[in-house]
Amino acid sequence: MTRSIGEALAAARDGSAQEVATAAIARARDDRWGALLHVDQEGALAAAASVDTAATEGRAVGPLAGVPVVIKDNLCQRGTPTTCASKLLEGWVAPYDAHVVERLCAAGAVIVGKANLDEFAMGSSGETSAFGPTRNPCDEARVPGGSSSGSAAAVAAGIVPAALGSDTGGSVRQPAAFCGLVGLKPTYGRVSRYGLVAFASSLDQVGPIARDAASAAALFDVVAGYDPRDATSADAPRGEHVAAVARGVRGLRVGVPRDFVAGADPDVRDAFERALDRLVERGASVVDVALPHARHGVSVYYLVATAEASSNLARFDGVRFGLRVEGADLTETYERTRARFGPEVKRRILLGTYALSAGYYDAYYLRAQKVRVRIAEDFAQAFERCDVVATPTTPTVAWRLGERSDDPLQTWLQDLYTLPASLAGLPALSAPCGTGEAGLPVGFHVTGRRWDEATLLAVAGALEGER
Ligand code: GLN
Across the chain, which has 467 residues, the per-10-residue mean pLDDT values are 89 94 98 98 97 94 97 98 96 96 98 98 97 98 98 98 98 98 98 98 98 98 97 89 96 97 97 98 98 97 97 94 94 96 97 92 93 98 98 98 89 94 98 97 98 98 79
Prior bond of 147 cis (ω within 30°) = yes
- Tell me, yes or no, whether 442 lies in a domain: no
452 domain-assigned:
no
Decide the pairing of beta strands 428-435 and 182-185: antiparallel
For residues 214 and 242, is the Cβ–Cβ distance under 8 A?
yes
Q: Which CATH number characterizes residue 174's domain?
A: 3.90.1300.10
Q: How far is the CA of 51 from the centre of ligand 1 (A)?
A: 36
CA-closest residue to ligand 1 atom 4 = 123
Domain span at residue 130?
5-244
Q: Rounded CA gap, 101 and 196, in Å?
A: 10
Q: How far is the CA of 47 from the centre of ligand 1 (A)?
A: 32
Question: CB of 182 within 8 A of CB of 463?
Answer: no
| Closest atom, ligand 1, to C-alpha of 172 | 8
Backbone angles phi, psi at 355, to 5 degrees: -65, -30
Span from the CA of 357 to the centroid of ligand 1 (angstroms): 23
Name the pTM for this structure.
0.97
Q: Examine residue 323 and state whether it is found in any structural domain, yes or no.
A: no
- Residues marked as catalytic: 72, 147, 171
Task: Evaluate whether residue 356 is within a structural domain.
Answer: no
Looking at residue 102, its pLDDT comes to 98
Is residue 44 in some structural domain?
Answer: yes
Pocket of ligand 1 (CB under 6 A): 121-124, 147, 167-171, 199, 305, 415
The DSSP element (H or E) to which 387 belongs, if any, is: none
Ligand 1: residue of 202, 349, 415 to mutate (most ligand atoms within 8 A of CB) is: 415
d(CA 403, CA 146): 15
**Looking at the domain assignment, is residue 381 inside a domain?**
no
pLDDT at 89: 96
For residue 74, the CA-to-ligand 1 centroid distance in Å is 13
Give the total number of structural domains in the chain: 1
Cβ neighbours for 206, distance < 8 A, ≥ 6 positions apart? 75, 98, 100, 164, 165, 166, 167, 186, 191, 192, 193, 196, 223
